[in-house]
């Protein structure tokens, strides 16, 4: 059940990010080609964010702690890998040698 709760909070967080991304991209980049269009923007994405956050808030505190730890670990791995494998990182490395 603990793993299920962790999967739930991760999936709900992804839904929140996608719904916010729909709103932001629709406003900032209306010229982008889209494979499909979301109806009732921004009403439907805002409703999706509210519903997902409500479900997230009803999960136990231990789930939030585990989620925060996994997000922190993920961000550290992402930043460490990205720094050494990014184009900018490779350019800096080439310039130093």
pLDDT by residue, tens only, the chain of 97 residues: 889 999 999 999 999 999 999 999 999 999 999 888 889 999 999 999 999 999 999 999 999 999 999 999 999 999 999 887 888 777 777 776 5
Q: How far is the C-alpha of 62 from the C-alpha of 44, rounded, in Å?
A: 30
Same domain, 75 and 47: no
Quick check: bond before 42 cis, omega within 30? yes
Whole domain around residue 87: which residue ranges?
61-97
Number of domains in the chain: 2
Pair 24, 45 in one domain: yes
Q: How far apart are CA 33 and CA 60, in angstroms?
A: 40
Backbone angles phi, psi at 77, to 5 degrees: -60, -45
Indicate yes or no: pTM above 0.85. Answer: no
Q: Based on the domain organization, do 48 and 67 belong to the same domain? A: no
Find tokens 């494979």 and name the residue.
35
In this structure, the answer to whether residues 55 and 65 fall within a common structural domain is no
Angle between helices 43-57 and 2-28 (to 10 degrees): 160
Both 43 and 8 in one domain: the answer is: yes
């Amino acid at each position: 059940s603990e793993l299920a709760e962790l999967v739930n909070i991760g999936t709900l967080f992804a839904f929140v990010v996608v719904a916010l991304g729909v709103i932001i991209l629709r406003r900032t980049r209306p010229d982008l080609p889209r494979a499909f269009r979301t109806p009732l923007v921004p009403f439907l994405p805002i409703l999706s964010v509210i519903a997902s956050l409500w479900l997230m808030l009803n999960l136990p505190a231990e789930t939030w702690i585990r989620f925060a730890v996994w997000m922190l670990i993920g961000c550290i791995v992402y930043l460490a890998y990205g720094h050494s494998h990014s184009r900018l990182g490779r350019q800096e490395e080439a310039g130093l040698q």
